[in-house]
Amino acid sequence: MSAQGSPYASGPSPSRGEPPPKGTNPLIRPSDRFETWIRRFLMLVLVLGLPVAALSAGLTAYESSMRTVQAQSAERQEVTARLKSSVKGATADGKQQAQVRWTDDNGKVRTGTTLVKSGTPEGATVPVWLDREGAITSPPMTTLTARTNGWFVGGMAAVGVVGGFFGARAVTRRVLDRRRHAQWDAEWDLVEPLWSARFRR
């Protein structure tokens, strides 16, 4: 067999024509183009909005928490109190309410109730926090708590943006699919009699 008649002969391959220009595919529906643009827009919102929302929400929460830290630190003071009786028994968190006493700035002996670690003996010293009225209160918020709040709120904002992205995309797809199905049904109502007539001949 000659090289010319061989199926493996070299030579220019038959022309298959140039591919159609982009955007001229007759099978692409207007709803397909609209969905493509919506997806691009949502992706742009996700890429730009995710860091902006996370940073702004996180910084806002952190700054708000830091103002609380500063206010509580200015309003509360720590004093050393003594336990009036031994703390016995055990609880799930290892602490119990117990009576303590301390001396205020005026030299007056004050008493109150605070959480004390189980097993602490009578007369032991425990730190307590007092408000401006001299009553026992909780410790002021710490800087670590403020940072944690900032990270948590920023993370939740990021999750919200991602959830909104997928939710918007799903809603868009569902609305477009309903419209496409309605168009298909309407077109089939027009085409079906013609197809049925072919088989009745």
What are the distances in angstroms from CA 58 to CA 69, 125, 142, 160? Answer: 16, 39, 17, 13
Q: What does the pLDDT read at residue 154?
A: 95
Residue-wise pLDDT for 102-138, tens only, equals 888 888 888 888 888 887 888 888 899 998 888 898 8
Rounded to an integer, the average pLDDT of 4-26 is: 52
Residues in the chain: 201
Distance (Å, whole) CA 197 – CA 128: 93
Judged by average pLDDT, the poorest of 11-15, 90-94, 139-143, 179-183 is 11-15
pLDDT for position 53: 93
> 175: which 2 tokens?
């609305």
- C-beta of residue 78 within 8 angstroms of C-beta of residue 129: yes
SS3 93: coil
Mean pLDDT across 152-160? 95
How far apart, in whole angstroms, are the C-alpha atoms of residue 138 and residue 75?
Answer: 12
Least confident of 10-14, 22-26, 88-92, 141-145: 10-14
Strand locations in the chain (E)? 77-83, 95-103, 109-117, 125-130, 136-137
Say if strands 77-83 and 125-130 run parallel, antiparallel, or are unpaired.
antiparallel
- Top-confidence residue, 163 or 197: 163
- Residue 1 DSSP label: -
Q: Dihedral sign, CA of 35, 41, 45, 46?
A: positive
Is the CB of residue 157 less than 8 Å from the CB of residue 127?
Answer: no
**Could you identify the residue written with the tokens 């085409």?**
191
The pLDDT-based confidence of 4 (bands split at 50, 70, 90) is: very low
Q: How far is it, in rounded angstroms, from Cα 75 to Cα 133?
A: 10
Both tokens of 107, joined, read 């030299």
pLDDT of residue 147: 96
Predicted confidence (pLDDT) at residue 173 exceeds the cutoff of 50? yes
